[in-house]
Structure 1
Amino acid sequence: MVATWQEVDAVLSPVIGQRGVAMLYKRSLFLIGSAHPWLAGMHQGVQPTVDLEALKSAFAQQSSANAATAGGDFLQTFYELLTSLVGPSLTERLLRPVWAHFPSGPPAQDTSP
C-alpha cells in the first residue's frame, strides 16, 4: 500500500502539487473512515504532504483481509475524487504507471447515472 501511494504521489505531484495530492488523499481517508474506523483519524492535520509512515503503521496493525479491503476502498475513493476533478481520460493517463503494477488494472468506475 505504501509503495502504491509513493507512486501516486510521484506521478500526481508534478501536475496537482504535493498539497493537491495530500488533500485528495486526506479527503479519501475521511470518506472511507466510517467503513474503516481504524483509518478515521488519519485525515486530520494540516500537513502539506502524504504521511506514508502513519499509513504504513495503520495497515500493519490490521489483518491481511482488512488491509486489502480498506486499501482497495481507499484507492477507489481517491480515483473517483480525482476523476471528478480532472475527468476520466486524464485520470487514466496520469495513473497509468501506477495501475501497471496491478494485474486487475485501475479501479472499476461506477457508470450509473
Structure 2
Amino acid sequence: MPGRRGALPLAGKVDHDADAAQVAEAMVSIWLEIEASLAPVIGHRGMAALYERSLYLTATSHPWLPVPHEAPQSIDLSALQSVVAQQASTEALRGGSTLLHTFCELLGSLIGDPLARRLLGPLWEPGNEDAQREVQHR
C-alpha cells in the first residue's frame, strides 16, 4: 500500500544525515500515530498482533528487530527504539522503513487498501515516490 501511495513518513521526519537515535525517535513518533489511528478500530490487542506479525516478517531481512516471544498485549516501542538506536543510521532507516511497509501491506491485505488508506492516509506524504525508493535502496 505505501509504495503505491507515496513516501512513508519516516523519510519525511528525519534528515538525510540523521543518526540512528534520531531515526529511532522518529519511528516511535510514527508508531504512536499509527496506534492512535488504529486502536479505536481494531483495539490494542489487534494493533499489537499486527505489529508483532510485521516485526516477525521484517526480521527475516533485518534480524536485529525485536521479535516478541509471547503474544503481546500492546506494542513495545521502547524495545524498538533501543534496537534501532544501536544500528548504523542507514540500516536503522532501512529497517524502520521496511517495518512500516510490512505493517501497511499486512493491514491492507486484511482490511483492504481503501480502508487502510482511509485509516492511515494522514500519516503518509502524497506523491513522494522518489524519496521512498531512495530509502529502500540505500
| Aligned pairs (5 A) from 1:23-102 | 23-39=49-65, 41-100=66-125
Show the counterpart of 2:32: 6
Q: Is the aligned partner of 1:104 residue 2:128?
A: yes
**Unpaired stretches in structure 2, ≥5 consecutive residues:** 1-26, 134-138
Which protein has greater RCO, CA pairs closer than 8 Å, 6+ apart? Answer: 2
Are 1:26 and 1:44, in contact at CA under 8 Å, matched by a contact in 2? no
RMSD over aligned CA atoms reads 2.0
Check the 8 A contact 2:54/2:102 in 1, yes or no: yes
- After superposition, the C-alpha distances for 1:49-106 in whole angstroms (9 at most, x for unaligned) are 0101001001010111001100111011100110011101000010012214x8737x
- Moved runs in structure 1, 4+ residues, more than 4 A? none
Counterpart amino acid of residue 128 in structure 2: S
Gaps of 5+ in 1: 109-113
The count of aligned residue pairs is 105
In the alignment, which residue of structure 2 is the partner of 1:111?
none
Structure-2-length-normalised TM-score = 0.70
TM-score (norm 1): 0.85
Amino acid at match of 1:64: S
Deviation at 1:2, TM superposition (A): 0.6
- Alignment identity in percent? 47
